[in-house]
Amino acid sequence: EIYIVSSGYREIDMATLVRCNHTIMSTGTFSWWTAYLTNGTTVYYNNWPKPNSVLERMIKKMNIS
């Protein structure tokens, strides 16, 4: 099923997304939290951050996993 939610309130949007079975993520923190709180499969694109970039080194240094 597909639902389109246009509440205009981020709290309602987050609550709705967390109730979904799966998540398609972007690089934003909103989708990161949604994926973290959802108990399904998370789809995320490859090659971000760009290999050997400053951002990749920063993330590795922070040891986020």
User: pTM of the predicted model, to two decimals?
Assistant: 0.59
Token couple for 47: 């090659």
Token couple for 33: 């939290």
pLDDT digits (tens, 9 = 90+) for 27-52: 888 888 988 998 889 988 777 788 88
Q: Kindly write down the DSSP assignment for every residue of 9-63, as one continuous string.
A: -HHHHHHHHHTSS-EE--SSHHHHHHHHH--S-EE--SS-SPTTSHHHHHHHHHT
pLDDT digits (tens, 9 = 90+) for 17-33: 888 888 888 888 888 89
Token couple for 11: 């709290």
Spatial separation of the C-alpha atoms in residues 6 and 55, rounded to whole Å: 33
